[in-house]
């Protein structure tokens, strides 16, 4: 009985597309790549906070290289503009605080 189901959409019997799992994997892969490129500076900051060691040095080098490449391509422009505006607001509202202080966010 299931073989006789009439679909309102014409679907070829030999047509093959990505399965649901494959579509999800592609979407997650694109999201990870996009976030890695747009937040490369955050990866560098994270790597700087790791305990020192040989593996950490390699991770930090890769993270900072990625951040530099993202900056070269202009992918950090929106983040840099937003941070610059925030620094202006912070300087106007709290002039006694140093603008370069990264401890307070």
pTM: 0.57
Number of domains in the chain: 1
What residue spans of 19-76 are helical by DSSP H?
20-38, 40-48, 54-72
In a domain, 100, yes or no: no
Decide if 56 contacts 50 (C-beta within 8 A).
Answer: yes
Percent of the chain with pLDDT over 90: 46
In a domain, 5, yes or no: no
Percentage helix, strand, coil for the chain under 3-state DSSP, each rounded to 5: 65, 0, 35
What whole-number distance in Å separates Cα of residue 34 and Cα of residue 67?
13
The pair of structure tokens assigned to 12 is 């070829």
pLDDT digits (tens, 9 = 90+) for 17-48: 777 788 899 999 999 999 888 889 899 999 99
pLDDT digits (tens, 9 = 90+) for 60-81: 999 999 999 999 999 888 888 9
Domain range enclosing 59: 40-90
In a domain, 64, yes or no: yes
Q: Any idea how long the chain is?
A: 105
């Amino acid at each position: 009985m299931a073989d006789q189901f009439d679909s309102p959409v014409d679907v070829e019997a030999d047509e093959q597309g990505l399965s649901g799992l494959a579509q999800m994997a592609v979407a997650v892969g694109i999201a990870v790549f996009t976030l890695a490129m747009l937040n490369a500076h955050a990866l560098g900051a994270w790597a700087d906070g790791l305990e020192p060691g040989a593996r950490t040095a390699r991770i930090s080098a890769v993270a900072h290289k990625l951040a530099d490449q993202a900056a070269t391509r202009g992918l950090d422009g929106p983040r840099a503009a937003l941070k610059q505006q925030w620094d202006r607001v912070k300087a106007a509202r709290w002039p006694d605080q140093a603008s370069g202080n990264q401890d307070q966010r």
